[in-house]
């Protein structure tokens, strides 16, 4: 690094895939000499890596662009401003019309072309690239340097599948991320080995529909997500594997078996159902019923009883009646979630449901959201409490809140705070859960637990 190295600041909104993409953008620009800026004020290139999933998410980009405009006026600096991500893909050149501060618009399928696009932006050409590239983006994207990987910590995302062919009637993803495409197995294994070689202990495989993964295997056959997981579990150093997000329709028997067979595959599953009403599920084009979802959960739990379930729910989908909403509360009670994300339906331009009759009043959406959130919060707290006194593994991934504390994640993705002298970030240690905070667990190293909390001696013995 030299004093004159250009500085890059990427601000990501939306899902984990954007977090992964932000890293790949930094990797793509590293050979050009770019280093990370500590803030937008400090940057030569600012990338807003946007999300289009709900109106609020999409509008954030314009308020951020307003702030950047002010910052430019106040400081007299003139960084290059790029809009990337799903708003870039959905709105393209429209963004240049709405905001004169933008120098470049680049969709998620074109990040391999960032270096040349930035050169165009610097020349004042205001490039817009929202093509769904014919070339293999991942083949052309630059691999991260070991130093960059180490700087990102001991957990990492790895996109294995991108795009979606499901066309749920509320969702923009099939339009912003394009058709479902899977990366070849060898490419993924090489990336995972690279991550593990630089100290990564936990890898989360990403895909908009990750369980629809069907990548070319080294044996000339098409591999499923399950087969890929068995292969990745063999990589030395990889202690934990996760994957997200799955669709109930693509969840096959092999994946259920992987949860039974692979100790590295964490017992946590994000499996959105969206609604508990069959009528609404059909109107959403989810192509399964509430009973089918519950049966699937039952089969997964009989293979791996320890599984903690997570999900996504939309309230106020067009035509949702009180009875439909009650059915959603019922499926939440029946499935018993360890955590879940809840959203008010947001009509998105170009999606079929946006123009439907029966749009629900905002106040009613808010009321339903509150009731659903209260139920889920109850379930989440009950799940956390059920862990008190239990022995679990924690992957230490960052310094703790207070001096002497260290923090990590439980198998079920909960943050865990503990005091563990001698333990370091990257260690996987056995602990006993001693208490529950609002959003995290407290624990003691399993060896110390007897002294720390005598009443738990029985549980740990
Ligand atoms: N591929 C994943 C989800 C991707 S989007 C799946 O099929 O489950 C993440 C979540 O955002 C969705 O599960 C849904 O709950 C929510 N979402 C998507 N579009 C939405 C919209 N128009 N309004 C409100 N929530 C939405
Ligand atoms: Fe969107 Fe449905 Fe595809 Fe998920 S499965 S990304 S909700 S269209
Ligand atoms: Fe948002 Fe695009 Fe992810 S719309 S949720 S950033 S796939």
Which two tokens mark 213? 């993964």
**Which residue do the tokens 């060898």 mark?**
186
pLDDT-based confidence at 85, cuts 50/70/90?
very high
Domain boundaries along the sequence of the chain: 7-129, 137-386, 391-456
- pTM (2 d.p.): 0.95
Residues with CB under 6 A from ligand 2: 164, 166-168, 171, 173-174, 208-209, 247
CA 199 to ligand 1 centroid distance, Å: 33
Which of 10, 11, 12, 15 has most ligand 3 atoms within 8 Å of CB, for mutation? 15
Angle at which helices 225-232 and 185-197 cross, to 10°: 30
- C-alpha 292 to ligand 2 mean position (Å): 18
What interhelical angle do 290-303 and 253-261 show, nearest 10? 30
For residue 15, say whether it is annotated as part of any ligand binding site. Answer: yes
The pLDDT of residue 458: 46
| pLDDT at residue 401 tops 90 | no
Bridge partner list, 341: 312
How far is residue 325's CA from residue 323's CA, in Å, rounded to a whole number?
Answer: 5
Share above pLDDT 70 across residues of the chain, in percent, rounded to a whole number: 96
Indicate the CATH number of 391-456 among 1.10.3720.10, 2.40.50.140, 3.20.20.70, 2.40.110.10: 2.40.50.140
Task: Confirm or reject: Cβ of 176 under 6 Å from ligand 3.
Answer: yes
Alpha helices per DSSP H over 198-310: 225-232, 253-261, 278-283, 290-303
Per-residue pLDDT, averaged over 424-445, amounts to 95
> Binding site annotation covers 263?
no
Residues in the chain: 461
The runs of H, that is alpha helices, within 304-357 are 322-335
51 is in an annotated binding site: yes
17 C-beta closer than 6 A to ligand 3 = yes
Distance from Cα 454 to the centre of ligand 1, integer Å: 46
For residue 456, pLDDT over 60 is answered with: no
Cα(461)–Cα(454) distance, rounded to whole angstroms? 11
What is the edge-to-edge ordering of all strands in the sheet holding 202-206? Answer: 155-159, 202-206, 240-244
- Say which residues have a Cβ less than 8 Å from residue 258's Cβ, sequence separation at least 6: 226, 229, 230, 265
**CB of residue 170 inside a 6 A radius of ligand 1:** yes
Give domain 137-386's CATH superfamily: tm_1862 like domain (3.80.30.20)
Q: What is the pLDDT of residue 460?
A: 41
Distance 171 CA to ligand 1 centre (A): 6
Tell me the CA–centroid distance for residue 208 and ligand 2, in Å. Answer: 7
Query: What pLDDT, on a 0 to 100 scale, did the predictor assign at position 451?
Result: 55
Give me the residue label for tokens 């990366």.
183
Atom of ligand 3 nearest to the CA of 13: 6
Q: Which CATH architecture has domain 7-129?
A: 3-Layer(aba) Sandwich (3.40)
User: What's the pLDDT band for 459 if we cut at 50, 70, 90?
Assistant: very low
Question: What mean pLDDT comes out for the span 267-295?
Answer: 98
Look at ligand 3, atom 7, and give the residue with the nearest C-alpha: 173
220 is in an annotated binding site: no
Q: Output the pLDDT for position 136.
A: 81
Q: Cα–Cα distance between 119 and 52 in angstroms, integer?
A: 27
């Amino acid at each position: 690094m030299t004093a004159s190295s250009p500085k890059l600041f990427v601000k990501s909104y939306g899902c984990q895939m954007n977090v992964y993409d932000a890293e790949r953008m930094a990797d793509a620009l590293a050979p050009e000499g770019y280093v990370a800026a500590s803030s937008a004020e400090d940057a030569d290139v600012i990338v807003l890596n946007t999300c289009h999933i709900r109106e609020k998410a999409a509008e954030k980009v314009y308020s951020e662009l307003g702030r950047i405009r002010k910052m430019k006026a106040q400081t007299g600096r003139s960084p290059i401003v790029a809009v990337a991500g799903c708003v870039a893909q959905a709105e393209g050149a429209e963004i240049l019309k709405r905001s004169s501060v933008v120098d470049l618009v680049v969709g998620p399928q074109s990040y391999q072309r960032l270096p040349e696009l930035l050169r165009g932006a610097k020349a004042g050409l205001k490039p817009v690239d929202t093509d769904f590239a014919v070339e293999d983006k991942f083949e052309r994207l630059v691999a991260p340097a070991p130093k960059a990987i180490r700087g990102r910590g001991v957990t990492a995302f790895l996109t294995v599948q991108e795009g979606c062919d499901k066309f749920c009637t509320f969702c923009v993803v099939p339009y912003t991320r394009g058709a479902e495409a899977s990366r070849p197995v060898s490419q993924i294994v090489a990336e995972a080995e690279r991550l593990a070689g630089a100290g990564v202990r936990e890898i989360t495989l990403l895909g908009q529909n990750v369980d629809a993964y069907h990548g070319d295997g080294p044996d000339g056959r098409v591999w499923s997500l399950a087969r890929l997981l068995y292969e990745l579990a063999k990589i030395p150093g990889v202690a934990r594997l996760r994957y997200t997000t799955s669709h109930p329709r693509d969840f096959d028997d092999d994946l259920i078996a992987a949860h039974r067979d692979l100790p590295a595959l964490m017992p946590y599953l994000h499996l959105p159902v969206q609604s508990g009403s069959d009528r609404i599920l059909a109107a959403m084009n989810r192509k399964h019923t509430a009973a089918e979802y519950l049966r699937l959960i039952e089969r997964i739990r009989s293979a791996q009883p320890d599984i903690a379930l997570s999900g996504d729910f939309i309230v106020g989908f067009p035509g949702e009646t009180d009875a439909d909403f009650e059915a959603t509360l019922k499926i939440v009670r029946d499935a018993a979630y360890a955590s879940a994300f809840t959203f008010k339906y947001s009509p998105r331009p170009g999606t079929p449901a946006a123009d439907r009759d029966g749009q629900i009043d905002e106040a009613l959406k808010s009321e339903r959201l509150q009731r659903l959130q209260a139920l889920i919060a109850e379930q989440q707290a009950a799940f956390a409490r059920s862990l008190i006194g239990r022995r679990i593994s924690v992957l230490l991934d960052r310094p703790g809140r207070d001096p002497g504390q260290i923090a990590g994640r439980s198998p079920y993705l909960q943050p865990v705070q503990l005091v563990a002298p001698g333990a370091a970030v990257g260690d996987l240690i056995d602990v006993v859960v001693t208490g529950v905070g609002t959003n995290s667990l407290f624990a003691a190293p399993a060896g110390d637990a007897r002294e720390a909390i005598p009443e738990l001696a029985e549980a740990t013995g």
